[in-house]
Amino acid sequence: MQELIRQSARAVVESLRRGDVSPLELIDAAVARIEATDGQLNALPTLCIERACAHAKRIMSGEQAAGDDPAWLGGLPIAIKDIHEVAGVRTTYGSPLFADHVPDFSHTTMQTLERRGGIVLGKSNAPEFAHGGTTFNEVFGHTRNPWNTAMTCGGSSGGSAVALATGQTWLANGSDLGTSLRTPAAFCSVVGLRPSPGRVARAPTRLPFDTLVVEGPMARNVGDVALMLDAMTGTHRSDPISLPAPKSTFQSAVAQARPPRRVAYSPDLGGIVPVARPVAEACAAAALRWRELGVAVEEDCPDLSDAKDIFRVLRANQFVGDLAPIIEQHRDAIRKEVVWNFEQGLQLTAEQIGRAERARGALYARAARFFETYDLLLCPTTSVTPFDVNVKHIDEVEGHRFESYFEWYTIGFALSVTSLPVLSLPCGFTDDGLPIGMQVVGPPRGEHALLGMASVFEQVLGIADRVPIDPRPPA
């Protein structure tokens, strides 16, 4: 069982293809690991073992098979964020309003993953409606960081990141508006990819044309992220902006990876956000390691000076469009920060929204031109290292006091508004053993190039094999 848990997702899928291991054996291994670790972590509060076993038996009987499809997962157990519906499985969205909600349908991403042989084993914890940079809610409580259980795992895809870091599952999904997929990946020393809008189909949603929120894969290494992205992609008639699966797989990009010619590094995205010294030092040292491969590394960044203002407006508007039907009926039962964002959106004028949209268009044009010069942009994933699990948000970094509760993750959301694919890659640790992550940003629609070059970087850094780990209590 321990040997199975430690293997990569790709290795396990190959074993499934050969018949060396069965989906039921993998379920047993994952459940044993969850029982051994999750009492200290609260990563997967909802399990659906009976449903998972029924799906495994269908795959084993040959009822569901995909032959040589490179996106076929073959019966691999996966974890699904508790804001995505899975038919017949409790889905709370992290809200007491939906504490007993059991949908009779599955989100398009889950449909795609299950059709390609992914077996949903459980739902990973998330904050209410997936809004917030830490993972806690009134239904299930806090999810803790396995590197130090007194610390937060980040959010909002925190349960997924913790499940991966501790070997409870081999793959997990996340979602990302501001940095909901990248922050927990950095805080738990796993890999998370925010793909281009439309790369992974999203439905049902009240905002099908929205390009701020995306779904994406999470795993322990870049190659496994590529595997899951292959299994997630493809058009869906319910999503008007969904993209077709590419002709060449994302796994092939990793297999044929080459280093870049020229990369840019910015410690603070051109000075728009403060970064704690341990994070800045670790990321700078990691970025310079590209030079070991003869890659040119230069300090540079596209002009993101108005990214904060753009995000603030579009985020508030997104809250109104998405959550108004719920908040207007149940305002007193919803976390105050969520309501505050909604109220900020109600105060916006058409002029403010239009100006933000125009500014975002200009920002994208600048970012696209930047990648005519550079192959990648590197910067820290977070401004800080993991902090106390009972702290909801960070108010100050390096003497700079933030104006709003979500400004501490500016270094993530400033890149969200570019629509560029962004991957969070483990790049180091603090002196007391807490993980630090680096954002690796690729060109427009450039997931192939990004994954390939990031896999080379991962080999240079040489820390991907430090997970999974047993939960570590505070010193």
Residues 386-434: tens digit of each pLDDT:
999 999 999 999 999 999 999 999 999 999 999 999 999 999 999 999 9
CA–CA separation, 465 and 475 (whole Å): 23
Surface-to-core class of residue 422, CB atoms within 10 Å of its CB (0-12 exposed, 13-18 middle, 19+ buried): buried
pLDDT at 2: 80
- Give residues with Cβ within 8 angstroms of 37, minimum separation 6: 146, 166, 167, 168, 470, 471
CB 412 within 8 A of CB 182: yes
Rounded distance, CA 459 to CA 401, Å?
37
* Neighbouring C-beta atoms of residue 118, cutoff 10 Å: 27
Q: Is 106 considered catalytic here?
A: no
Question: pLDDT, tens digit, for every residue of 211-246?
Answer: 999 999 999 999 999 999 999 999 999 999 999 999
For the chain, domain boundaries = 2-307+353-466
- Digit-coded pLDDT (tens) for 432-454: 999 999 999 999 999 999 999 99
Task: Name the band, by pLDDT with cuts 50, 70 and 90, for residue 1.
Answer: confident
The three-class DSSP label of residue 436 is strand
Among residues 15, 106, 124, 156, the one annotated as catalytic is 156
User: What sign has the CA pseudo-torsion 71, 77, 80, 84?
Assistant: positive
Minimal CA–CA distance to 363: which of 421, 404, 309? 309
The tokens for 179 are 């940095």
Can 81 be counted among the known catalytic residues?
yes
- The band of 68, judged by pLDDT with boundaries at 50, 70 and 90, is confident
Distance CA 43, CA 157 (A): 10
Please report, for residues 21, 22, 123, 133, 256, the alpha-carbon distance to residue 48 in angstroms, rounded to integers and kept in the order given. 21, 18, 8, 27, 37
Whole-number percent of the chain with pLDDT over 70: 100
CA distance 334 to 330: 7
* pLDDT higher than threshold 90 for residue 67: no
pTM above 0.85, yes or no: yes
For CA atoms 354, 416, 205, 43, give the dihedral sign: negative
Q: Say yes or no to pLDDT of 206 above 90.
A: yes
Which of 95, 157, 180, 416 does the annotation list as catalytic?
180
Tens-digit pLDDT profile for residues 247-298: 999 999 999 999 999 999 999 999 999 999 999 999 999 999 999 999 999 9
pLDDT attached to residue 64: 80
For residue 87, the model assigns a pLDDT of: 98
Position 66 pLDDT exceeds 80: no
What percentage of the chain's residues is helix, strand, coil (to nearest 5)? 40, 15, 45
What are the C-alpha distances in Å from 350 to residues 315, 354, 358?
A: 14, 6, 12
Q: What is the pLDDT of residue 323?
A: 97
Question: Which superfamily is assigned to 2-307+353-466 in CATH?
Answer: Amidase signature (AS) domain (3.90.1300.10)
What's the pLDDT at 271?
97
Within 13 Å and on the Cβ side, how many CA atoms surround 62? Answer: 0
For position 419, what pLDDT does the model report?
98
Any residues with CB less than 8 A from the CB of 312 and at least 6 apart, and which? 344, 404
- Chain centroid offset of residue 246 CA: 21
Q: What is the DSSP letter of 402?
A: P
Q: Which of 15, 81, 175, 455 is catalytic?
A: 81
Distance in angstroms (rounded) separating the CA atoms of residues 297 and 288: 7
Q: Which amino acid is at 47?
A: L
Is residue 39 a contact partner of residue 80, using CB atoms and an 8 Å limit? no
**Residue type, position 451, single letter:** L
Q: Is 156 a catalytic residue?
A: yes
63 pLDDT tier (thresholds 50, 70, 90): confident
Burial label, 60 (beta-carbon count in 10 A; 0-12, 13-18, 19+): middle
Q: Residue 235: what residue type?
A: T
Asked whether the predicted pLDDT for residue 120 surpasses 90, the reply is yes
d(CA 30, CA 163): 10
Q: Is residue 141 predicted with pLDDT exceeding 90? A: yes
pLDDT digits (tens, 9 = 90+) for 309-335: 999 999 999 999 999 999 999 999 999
Confidence band, pLDDT 50/70/90 cuts, at residue 344: very high
